[in-house]
């Protein structure tokens, strides 16, 4: 199987800011690659270079066999892109938006119209199709934007944070649409800030920080390295924190994190719910009062902590504030 | 499809998209219709009664100036609409398509011709109401209005160039006002802005020393083209426009320059050299 997307040593600078610093990628045909990272990590810049919107300062990339700089014009007939913000026209109807895109792919009037109807039906927008987009919900707009990327059924698809800012229900419905798409054999490069999203949709995940990939693997491989689930406990007094650490240290895979101000302890564990039961049993035996306890999946912050030794910049800013 | 045919077809697609937008949101057109009405009435009645000119009514002197001024304002819609599309990411979507890159701009300027025609028709009708009259043959009058429309089209490209350099609608609006306001008053739309050149009472109405005599002079005075010529000369003097144009990206800059240059020359070859 050959690679549909290959990027080698991409560098992009905006003035003094280095957005991409040696970005390497390879995505085999028919697979989904998730680019996972916080805001400003270089995800969008990567997508913009691969979709011919930006020229890299150094390095080179090919998509579907076309060089993104030299063959940019020909490449555009072979890709579809859907961005962070739904790039749809408020005053036009859903059908008109898709028709315009179809015409610009040079499908011809009749075929463009026909294709617009097909896509509206597929994305559950048939009823809304003849209404101006102005009245659409956020989720409907994203679906329409995604439909716009699929007008010519391109072999390679770029989805830049397709669900950012959506409510959980809209997100779930968009995930379903993307999963179906992937089943048809399209190669997809997806960027996301959500571990859960990458986990659900991507075959392989690249963790990005400061403009390059710092960890690469399947969701399971990464999660194993990050340490699987976490138990999060809150106690009522700071005096208990040390007791909790002593009691639960044997259960932890990796290091416990103690947040003194929030009176919170985070313990990486394996074994899920059973580990939580065991931990609570130990604490009860030691007569430590627990205010709140829960089990959670690793978050992007956990992945970051593990691979970079620092939390995402955003999280650091929040903490400082 | 060859490049030219593709560029044309894509331009028509974008024009159609924009025309649909006008149809769905006629409020934008409302401004283009209301502004001329307000300006014509305001200036015709406020200044028209205060200023007296030998041999003609001030209203008739003023109207062509108002025509050009209004069309300058309505041509700014081009730039404004482009900044809105830029901001919403619609340009990015278009740029990932295998379309002709220039079509986004040509399509926008084409569809703005619709708004400009609306403006011109409104102004002419209101003008007729307040006493402005066409004193030439219908053909000459038609050519005069066509010239006005061409100026509007050329100015659309200037505002497009500025818009691409400035990128956000807020900044564009601010700069457009700052640049166009002085240009309007530097021109002879309201008063003859080159009185120093006029040595005789008769010359006061004829700002261009090289102007053709006789009936041609009458045409210039009674057709929209008169003030237009001076406006373009004023634009040439207003270095600010050229400075902004000079900073814009290559291809667009060339297009913008060409448009301005061409209209300057076609309207008044002598003044282009000023």
CB contact under 8 A, A105 and B10: no
Asked if residue A246 and residue A161 are part of one domain, the reply reads no
Is the pLDDT at B246 greater than 70? The verdict is no
* Per-residue pLDDT tens over the stretch A51-102: 999 999 999 999 999 999 999 999 999 999 997 777 899 999 999 999 999 9
CB interface of A with B, residues 101-160, below 8 Å: 101, 103-106, 132, 145, 148
pLDDT at position A1: 59
Q: Evaluate if residue B242 carries a pLDDT over 70.
A: no
Q: What is the pLDDT of residue B194?
A: 56
Q: Is the pLDDT of residue A17 over 50?
A: yes
The answer to whether residues A153 and A50 belong to one domain is yes
Predicted pLDDT at A307: 80
Could you tell me which residue, A205 or B265, shows the higher pLDDT? A205
Identify the band that residue B189 occupies on the pLDDT scale cut at 50, 70 and 90. confident
Domain shared by A95 and A70, yes or no: yes
* Chain segment B8-37, per-residue pLDDT in tens: 999 999 999 999 998 888 887 888 888 888
The domain of A243 spans 229-296
Q: ipTM more than 0.85?
A: no
Contact B96 A100 (CB under 8 A): no
Tens-place pLDDT, residues B146-183: 999 999 999 999 999 999 999 899 999 999 988 888 88
Count Cβ–Cβ pairs < 8 Å, chain A vs chain B. Answer: 70
3-state DSSP of chain A: CCEEEEEEEEEEEECCEEEEEEEEEEEECCCEEEEECCCCCCHHHHHHHHCCCCCCCEEEEEECCEECCCCHHHHHHHEEEECCCCCCCCCCEHHHHHHHHHHHCCCCHHHHHHHHHHHHHHCCCCCHHHCEHHHCCHHHHHHHHHHHHCCCCCCEEEEECCCCCCCHHHHHHHHHHHHHHHHCCCEEEEEECCHHHHHHHCCEEEEEECCEEEEEECHHHHHHHHCCEEEEEEECCCHHHHHHHHHHHHHCCCCCEEECCCCEEEEEECCHHHHHHHHHHHHHHCCCCEEEEEEECCCHHHHHHHHHCCCCHHHHHHHHC
Q: Which residue has the higher pLDDT, A30 or B191?
A: A30
pLDDT tens digit sequence for B33-72:
888 888 888 888 887 777 777 777 888 888 888 888 888 8
Contact state of B96 with A52 under an 8 Å Cβ cutoff: yes
Mean pLDDT in residue range A113-126: 94
pLDDT score at B180: 84
Question: Domains in chain A: how many in total?
Answer: 2
pLDDT of B166: 93
pLDDT at A46 over 90: yes
Mean per-residue pLDDT, A269-290? 88
Worst-scoring range by mean pLDDT, A196-205, A227-236, A305-314? A305-314
Residues of A in contact with B93 (CB under 8 A): 81, 83, 87, 101, 145, 148
Residue A104 lies in a domain: yes
Question: Which CATH number is A274's domain given?
Answer: 3.30.70.100
* pLDDT for A311: 59
CATH number reported for the structural domain that contains residue A184 in this entry: 3.40.50.300
Last residue of a domain, one of A193, A221, A249: A221
| Contact yes or no for B93 and A148 at CB 8 A | yes
* Cβ–Cβ below 8 Å for B93 and A84: no
Determine the pLDDT at residue A289: 87
Q: Is residue A38 part of a domain?
A: yes
Q: Domain total for chain B?
A: 1
């Amino acid at each position: 199987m050959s690679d549909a997307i290959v990027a080698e040593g991409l560098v992009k600078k905006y003035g003094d800011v280095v957005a991409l610093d040696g970005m390497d990628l390879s995505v085999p045909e028919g697979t989904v690659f998730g680019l996972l990272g916080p805001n400003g990590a270089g995800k969008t810049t990567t997508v913009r270079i691969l979709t011919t919107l930006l020229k890299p300062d150094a390095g080179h990339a090919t998509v579907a066999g076309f060089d993104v700089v030299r063959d940019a014009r020909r490449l555009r007939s072979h890709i579809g892109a859907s961005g962070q913000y739904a790039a749809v026209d408020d005053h036009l109807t859903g059908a008109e938006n898709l028709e315009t895109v179809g015409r610009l792919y040079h499908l011809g009037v009749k075929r463009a119209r026909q294709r617009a109807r097909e896509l509206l039906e597929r994305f559950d927008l048939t009823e809304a199709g003849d209404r101006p987009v102005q009245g659409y919900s956020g989720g409907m707009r994203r679906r329409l934007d995604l439909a716009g990327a699929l007008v010519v059924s391109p072999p390679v698809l770029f989805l830049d944070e397709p669900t950012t800012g959506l409510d959980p229900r809209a997100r779930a419905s968009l995930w379903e649409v993307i999963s179906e798409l992937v089943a048809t054999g399209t190669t997809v490069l997806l960027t996301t800030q959500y571990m859960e999203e990458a986990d659900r949709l991507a075959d392989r995940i690249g963790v990005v920080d400061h403009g390059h990939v710092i960890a690469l693997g399947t969701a399971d491989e990464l999660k194993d390295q990050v340490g699987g689930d976490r138990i999060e406990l809150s106690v009522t007094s700071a005096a208990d924190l040390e007791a909790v650490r002593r009691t639960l240290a044997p259960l932890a895979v990796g290091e416990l994190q103690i947040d003194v101000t929030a009176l919170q302890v985070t313990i990486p564990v394996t074994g899920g719910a059973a580990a939580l039961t065991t931990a609570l049993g130990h604490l009860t035996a030691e007569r430590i009062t627990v205010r709140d306890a829960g089990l959670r999946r690793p978050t992007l912050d956990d992945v970051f902590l593990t691979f970079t030794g620092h939390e995402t910049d955003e999280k650091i800013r929040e903490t400082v504030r | 499809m060859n490049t030219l045919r593709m560029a044309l077809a894509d331009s028509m697609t974008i024009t159609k998209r924009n025309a649909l937008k006008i149809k769905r949101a006629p409020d934008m057109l409302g401004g283009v219709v209301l502004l001329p009405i307000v300006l014509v009435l305001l200036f015709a009645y406020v200044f028209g009664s205060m200023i007296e000119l030998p041999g003609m009514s001030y209203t008739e002197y003023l109207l062509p100036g108002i025509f050009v001024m209004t069309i300058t304002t309505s041509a700014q819609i081009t730039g404004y609409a482009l900044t809105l599309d830029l901001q919403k990411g619609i340009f990015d979507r278009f740029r990932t398509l295998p379309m002709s890159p220039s079509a986004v701009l040509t399509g926008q300027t084409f569809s703005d011709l619709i708004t400009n025609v609306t403006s011109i028709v409104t102004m002419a009708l209101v003008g007729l109401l307040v006493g402005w009259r066409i004193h030439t043959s219908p053909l000459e009058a038609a050519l005069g209005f066509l010239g006005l429309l061409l100026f509007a089209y050329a100015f659309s490209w200037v505002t497009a160039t500025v818009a691409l350099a400035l990128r956000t609608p807020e900044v564009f609006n601010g700069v457009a006002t700052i640049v166009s306001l002085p240009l309007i008053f530097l021109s002879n739309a309201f008063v003859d802005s080159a009185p120093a050149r006029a040595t005789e009472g008769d010359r006061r109405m004829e700002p261009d020393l090289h102007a053709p005599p006789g009936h041609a002079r009458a045409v210039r005075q009674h057709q929209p083209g008169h003030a237009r010529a001076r406006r373009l000369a004023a634009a040439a003097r207003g270095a600010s426009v050229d400075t902004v144009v000079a900073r814009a990206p290559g291809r667009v800059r060339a297009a913008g320059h060409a448009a301005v240059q061409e209209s300057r020359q076609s309207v008044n070859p002598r003044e282009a050299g000023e």
